[in-house]
Structure 1
Amino acid sequence: MERLPVDDKSTNKSVNLLVISVKSQVINKSHMTGVQQRATYIHDKPPKDKIGVMESAFVLTVMTLTVLGPSGWILSHVDEYKTRRP
């Protein structure tokens, strides 16, 4: 197999740009501790509306049925799907 000629200048430039971008990201975040980095999206305002227990239970029930309902239907009818001919 023949090797293609490699332009060392363009390779070095791309590597240098990569190193510079990585170093700048590290420098920008180096003054923050680990907890501060993860908690930058948390706001200090209280919620506008208080969510009640009934609302939480309703949403949890709907989400559970949405995810598990179709798969439960399919699993309960597997025998019918096996015997059905096209």
Structure 2
Amino acid sequence: MDIDFLLRAVQAAKVKYIDETWGNFRYLEGTKSVEDAKSGQGQKRYQKLLQNYRKKLPFFLQLYMLVLVRVTYFYRHPQDIIPSFRQKVQSIFSN
């Protein structure tokens, strides 16, 4: 299954979490997944796909996702909190 299919499916279905592995995957030479992984395009494609689906969400869910992504990022990279805050403040006062 690909991420685009999963994102479309959860929009149309009532989803229930089940803590089980139902499948697996493998990389095959010559496929888009392998070529994207080698070139670094896979992450860019994934982020663009998520961005497109987030735009379709209601406003409050968009806001929730924005906060969730930022909190998760800074939880994993606490050293970036102060530089990010400093950059935001500087950009506000430089205008």
TM interval, short-chain normalised = under 0.3
Q: Which has the larger radius of gyration?
A: 1
TM value normalised by structure 1: 0.25
Q: Looking at secondary structure, tell me which structure has more helix per residue.
A: 2
TM value normalised by structure 2: 0.23
